[in-house]
Chain A
């Protein structure tokens, strides 16, 4: 630990001189374990963290086990329909209380010594209880804050965080574009995939809104799909936008404030997207700008620090759990509009399986690149990662597309090959590390 960059001070890790055309980050931010400990305590345990979608805990007794940073917690649907979230550890000797990642139980009984807890966290049973035990002293600990935004459930261990809506800020209109795709709400499609990446969590944050890699890393995806389509082989899958991947379409990148980031690219064949069947309904219910954004702009949103919402080839919730400086778990879900046609649903799933997932034909390539950047980060002999593309064309405030939809990014450019949105991410990261 003596050589840790934490001791030398974190502020030197971000070289933020955009007036001089420079923004770079010390590569040891991806490899230093002491710094990682700081990130867990000062970032993950201090801000809002995505937990689950309400659809995953719909009925009384439904629970969902996840983590805030590394701390196990579970969300539990109460009898009155509200949600509570508890530290997922028995008050007695810490065993995880939920038998599964997800399930239904109106009381939870610890499988170690049989202590039991009500849905509201109250301790109601102690095996072979001794006389005069005050069971209420063993009630489960509720986390400090729990709020939902239009079905997306977030929690915080920090009682002093601002409201969730304030925290989400300019990311809200992006979430709204997903929520507006069904009048009945969204649902998480059964099935998911969890994989471990030998890489730092910040690389996943970066990659999820990196437009610049698409035309290299996913060039092979575009060529593969083009070859399939040339054989007429897209029955039930529908065409994919090879043109979008190749480049040459309108795009944008946004620093949305609070470390949130987003990118979009214009779809060249929006009529093949599963949402297209709802065009008339959307035009009736929404503003022309919202309709345009939903139907024709492929969008990736990163919400600081642990979740990504993708509406690109398919619709995805991607949650990450940091494990160490050099390792993370990622879980992906397909989220879809309730009530869409069977054809649209199947098409959405086939696109998801084609592109995303470790067994898919694009995410697998992303992960190979990500793990290479992790290895490369040990090359401290050349210690800086540069984020300077687009630095001379920053728009402070909305560009044309943002103004049309009505959100106000602190900074953006009209090109997803640019890297100016990462400035906002690393400023938020540094700000939180420097606090306390």
Chain B
């Protein structure tokens, strides 16, 4: 594993740990002000949507403020859905920086998260 790959993988695990521990401020600090948080939706069985301005996404936050909204919501203790425990899976951590020129439309790092909420008990 390259040093860069190791760094990226560690970053993903660090993010998950911060979320598990509900250390929101440190989580937000992992992102730059202009970070885009994008989870596309399925365009069909094989492809996800590729243009957030024209297609529907599951999440598309244009800057870090969108993440702060999510923290506000959880910390309010007033969100029905947020009173659930969360199980998080991460996989496919990958650095695309070397391929950046060829894949300009793709983000420099990707990872797959499968957060699933479940009720306590």
Residues of A whose CB lies within 8 Å of any CB of B are 100-103, 189-193, 217, 219-221, 223-225, 227-228, 231, 233, 235-237, 333-334, 342, 345-346, 349-350, 352-353, 357-359, 361, 364-369, 372
**Is B54 interfacial (CB-CB < 8 Å)?**
yes
Q: In whole angstroms, how far apart are the Cα atoms of A372 and B119 in the complex?
A: 10
Contacts of A368 in B (CB 8 A): 80-81, 83-84
Contacts of A333 in B (CB 8 A): 56
If A101-B44, A192-B42, A219-B78 touch, whether A349 touches B57 (CB-CB below 8 Å) is yes
**Is B13 interfacial (CB-CB < 8 Å)?**
no
Cβ B53 vs Cβ A352 within 8 A:
no
Cβ A227 vs Cβ B69 within 8 A:
yes
Nearest CB on A from B45, distance (A): 5
Cβ B56 vs Cβ A190 within 8 A:
yes
- The 7 lowest CB-CB distance pairs between A and B, nearest first, are A191-B56, A364-B81, A191-B41, A368-B81, A220-B78, A368-B80, A233-B65
18 contacts between A and B (CB under 8 A): A189-B54, A191-B55, A192-B56, A193-B42, A219-B78, A220-B73, A220-B76, A223-B78, A224-B73, A228-B65, A237-B62, A353-B57, A353-B60, A359-B59, A365-B79, A365-B80, A368-B80, A368-B84
Contacts of B31 in A (CB 8 A): none
Contacts of A359 in B (CB 8 A): 39, 58-59
Nearest CB on A from B105, distance (A): 16
**Per-position 1/0 for B53-91, Cβ under 8 A of A:** 111111110110100111011001011111110000000
Of the candidates B40, B44, B65, the one whose C-beta lies within 8 Å of that of A231 is B65
Cβ B52 vs Cβ A367 within 8 A:
no
Q: In whole angstroms, how far apart are the Cα atoms of A295 and B65 in the complex?
A: 29
Contacts of A372 in B (CB 8 A): 80
Please give me the residue from chain B that is nearest to A343 by CB atom. Answer: B53
Contacts of A369 in B (CB 8 A): 80
Cβ B43 vs Cβ A190 within 8 A:
yes
Contacts of B65 in A (CB 8 A): 228, 231, 233
Please give me the residue from chain A that is nearest to B63 by CB atom. Answer: A233
Q: In whole angstroms, how far apart are the Cα atoms of A345 and B83 in the complex?
A: 33
Of the candidates B42, B73, B81, the one whose C-beta lies within 8 Å of that of A191 is B42
> Once A and B bind, how many residue pairs between them come within 8 Å at the CB atom?
98
Contacts of A227 in B (CB 8 A): 69, 72
Cβ B54 vs Cβ A224 within 8 A:
no
Cβ B39 vs Cβ A352 within 8 A:
no
Nearest CB on B from A347, distance (A): 10
Nearest CB on A from B76, distance (A): 5
If A228-B65, A233-B65, A235-B62 touch, whether A189 touches B56 (CB-CB below 8 Å) is yes
Please give me the residue from chain A that is nearest to B78 by CB atom. Answer: A220
Please give me the residue from chain B that is nearest to A369 by CB atom. Answer: B80
If A359-B39, A368-B84 touch, whether A353 touches B56 (CB-CB below 8 Å) is yes
Of the candidates B40, B45, B56, B58, the one whose C-beta lies within 8 Å of that of A101 is B45
Contacts of A224 in B (CB 8 A): 69, 72-73, 76
Cβ A345 vs Cβ B41 within 8 A:
no
**Is B49 interfacial (CB-CB < 8 Å)?**
yes
If A219-B78, A357-B58, A368-B80 touch, whether A228 touches B53 (CB-CB below 8 Å) is no
Contacts of B68 in A (CB 8 A): 228
Of the candidates B39, B41, B45, the one whose C-beta lies within 8 Å of that of A100 is B45
Q: In whole angstroms, how far apart are the Cα atoms of A345 and B52 in the complex?
A: 10
Contacts of A342 in B (CB 8 A): 53
Of the candidates A103, A189, A350, A361, the one whose C-beta lies within 8 Å of that of B73 is A361
Contacts of B52 in A (CB 8 A): 349
Contacts of B60 in A (CB 8 A): 349-350, 353
Please give me the residue from chain B that is nearest to A189 by CB atom. Answer: B56
Residue in A231, A236, A358, A364 whose Cβ sees the most chain B Cβ within 10 Å:
A364
Please give me the residue from chain B that is nearest to A221 by CB atom. Answer: B73
Cβ A228 vs Cβ B58 within 8 A:
no
Please give me the residue from chain B that is nearest to A346 by CB atom. Answer: B53
Of the candidates B42, B63, B81, the one whose C-beta lies within 8 Å of that of A365 is B81
Cβ B80 vs Cβ A192 within 8 A:
no
Contacts of A101 in B (CB 8 A): 44-45
Contacts of A345 in B (CB 8 A): 53-54
Q: In whole angstroms, how far apart are the Cα atoms of A190 and B58 in the complex?
A: 12
Q: In whole angstroms, how far apart are the Cα atoms of A342 and B54 in the complex?
A: 8
Please give me the residue from chain B that is nearest to A235 by CB atom. Answer: B62
Q: In whole angstroms, how far apart are the Cα atoms of A366 and B80 in the complex?
A: 8
Q: In whole angstroms, how far apart are the Cα atoms of A345 and B54 in the complex?
A: 7
Residue in B40, B53, B55, B81 whose Cβ sees the most chain A Cβ within 10 Å:
B81
Nearest CB on A from B24, distance (A): 14
Of the candidates B41, B69, B78, B83, the one whose C-beta lies within 8 Å of that of A228 is B69
Q: In whole angstroms, how far apart are the Cα atoms of A333 and B55 in the complex?
A: 11
Of the candidates A191, A219, A225, A358, the one whose C-beta lies within 8 Å of that of B43 is A191
Contacts of B49 in A (CB 8 A): 190-191
